[in-house]
Amino acid sequence: MTQRSTLKAVLAAAFLSLAVAFNASAQDRVVPSGDVRLSYAPIVHRVAPAVVNVYAAKVVKNRNPLFDDPIFRRFFGVPGGAGEQVQRSLGSGVIIDPTGLIVTNVHVIEGADEVKVALADKREFEASIVLKDKRSDLAVLRIKDAHERFPSLEFANSDKLEVGDVVLAIGNPFGVGQTVTHGIISALARTQVGITDYQFFIQTDAAINPGNSGGALVDMSGRLVGINTAIFSRSGGSQGVGFAIPANMVRVVVASARGGGHSVKRPWLGAKLQAVSADIADSLGLKRPAGALVASVTRDSPAARAGLKPGDVIIGVDHQEVDDPNAFDYRFATKPLGGTAQFSVLRNGREMAVSVALETAPDTPRDEITIRNRSPFSGATVANLSPALADELQLENATRGVVILDVDNGSYASNLGFQRGDIVESVNNERIAKTRDLQRIASTSQRSWHIVIKRGNQTITAVFNG
């Protein structure tokens, strides 16, 4: 073969290689055509019928407490219904059971005297409140007189979500009607939001606005990954920072409702935890400030029986990392009762495994009473304290006594500054051990009141006259 023939052969091979490379590159790209139609419509058609509008109405007494005094009303002729007005709120909800069980936010139906839900097909039903869990801001409703099977959503495992996953948000923003928006998971395990006791949220940039609360956040399989709850906004509208309660927390609340409970039963640790600061991390020889530091342990609690000690740092629960106490609370609260959870604990620079029993805190009859007699406590709802209630209210080193659960707006108790979580220790030098003790003293005619309450780590003494 001549030199010229050899050169021709080499060039032919080179051109052949370029042609193959060009064709391979061309195959990686698709020219848009009318036959290609990308759409979320199939997912929306499947999940939208399970998202409802929630309408709540309550009667508010916007008047002076003296109007409740029959003698005052008799002499001044004030009608019993004076100053009453109806407040209405709207939000969204998700049907999670074909029998008509619905999940929404507590703040959507808080204090409601009447709750109605409107389905995607415009039909309206009255609903009853099955369970309210203020700690998670989740409420469970049931459609009244339901005689059919309703479309419902399945739960996804929210622990399997990853940043960047595509999601759809469905709800009733501003009351305009059912609306679908899309976005991605912007962040996971947001623990510094300050919305509920359990600070562990999914963050999304799917547009969420007022009225979306209680609506669905779904994945591309049409499963419920979260309940939309709040937004961060400087304008009141969506700015691409929305928060949803993870489906695994929703699942726990729904399970309690399905079991016939009126409150959510969760595991009790029996220890006070605090964040690990940079200084604490340095003093303990930690590589970074992460984990939940055990500050104190309640006697005879699961933590005490497991051998946890002050100074221990919990860094994991069942092989899931714990970055701070809020993350721990979520991980621990979503564990099923019974059995044990395995903690990864750092003690004196060494990692060890600790097995903690998953059991509820001891409870006693709460004997809830709302004080109506004219006294400084008028309008306050009180209950007998127990380890279970102390854990629910996040009260430290308090397991007995009488605690204030709620205070009516505009009541004497509200005007005098009483708050949820205040422990009433004594009234007029008499020790308050039970709610009936407080009710008895509040029903007596007194011109002056000497009251001692405990609020957090403070003991407050107050004197009221008149």
Q: Please state, in angstroms and rounded to a whole number, the distance separating the CA atoms of residues 224 and 161.
A: 11
Name the residue type at position 39.
Answer: S
Q: Identify the pLDDT of residue 79.
A: 55
* pLDDT at residue 37 is higher than 60: yes
The verdict on whether 159 is a catalytic residue reads no
Mean pLDDT of 304-325: 93
Domain 39-262 in this protein, CATH class? mainly beta
Pair 391, 268: CB distance under 8 Å: yes
Nearest to 394 by CA among 456, 341, 334: 456
Q: Identify the pLDDT of residue 176.
A: 80
What pTM was estimated for this model as a whole? 0.75
Cβ neighbourhood burial of 266 (10 Å; 0-12, 13-18, 19+): buried
pLDDT-based confidence at 73, cuts 50/70/90? low
What is the tens place of the pLDDT at every residue in 80-125?
555 566 667 788 999 999 999 999 999 899 888 889 999 998 899 9
Q: Identify the pLDDT of residue 144.
A: 92
**Active-site residue, from 89, 107, 152, 301:** 107
**101 or 27, which is more confident?**
101
pLDDT-based confidence at 185, cuts 50/70/90? very high
Q: Please state, in angstroms and rounded to a whole number, the distance separating the CA atoms of residues 417 and 239.
A: 36
What is the tens place of the pLDDT at every residue in 233-288?
555 665 668 889 999 999 999 998 988 877 888 899 999 899 999 988 888 888 88
End-to-end CA separation in angstroms for the chain: 122
Report the alpha-carbon angle 119-125-126, nearest 5.
135
Please state the CATH superfamily assignment of the domain spanning residues 369-465 in this structure. Answer: PDZ domain (2.30.42.10)
Where are the CATH 2.40.10.120 domain residues in the chain? Answer: 39-262
Q: What are phi and psi of 47, to 5 degrees?
A: -100, -25
For all residues of the chain together, what is the average pLDDT? 83
In the block, which residue shows the tokens 């709207």? 90
Give the distance, in angstroms, between the CA of residue 359 and the centroid of all CA atoms in the same chain. 21
**Cα→Cα distances 359→120, 209, 337, 388, 397, Å:** 40, 38, 6, 11, 19
Please state the CATH superfamily assignment of the domain spanning residues 271-357 in this structure. Answer: PDZ domain (2.30.42.10)
Of the candidate ranges 114-128, 186-200, 239-253, 367-381, the one whose mean pLDDT is the lowest: 186-200
Mean pLDDT of 298-306: 91
Q: Please state, in angstroms and rounded to a whole number, the distance separating the CA atoms of residues 227 and 97.
A: 15
Token couple for 383: 């209950």
Q: Identify the pLDDT of residue 97.
A: 94
Pair 67, 78: CB distance under 8 Å: yes
The verdict on whether 213 is a catalytic residue reads yes
Mean pLDDT of 142-155: 92
| H-type alpha helices, 197-246 | none
Mean pLDDT of 183-203: 77
Percent of the chain with pLDDT over 90: 42
Q: Identify the pLDDT of residue 265.
A: 86
Q: Identify the pLDDT of residue 11.
A: 47
Q: Identify the pLDDT of residue 25.
A: 47
**9 or 190, which is more confident?**
190
3-state DSSP call for residue 402?
strand
**Active-site residue, from 158, 213, 378, 386:** 213
Where are the CATH 2.30.42.10 domain residues in the chain? Answer: 271-357, 369-465
Of the candidate ranges 73-77, 232-236, 322-326, the one whose mean pLDDT is the lowest: 73-77
* pLDDT at residue 22 is higher than 50: no
Pair 393, 421: CB distance under 8 Å: yes
Percent of the chain with pLDDT over 70: 82
Name the residue type at position 124.
Answer: E
The continuous run of DSSP H or E covering 168 comes out as strand 166-171
The verdict on whether 182 is a catalytic residue reads no
Give the distance, in angstroms, between the CA of residue 411 and the centroid of all CA atoms in the same chain. 28
**Active-site residue, from 133, 137, 312, 324:** 137
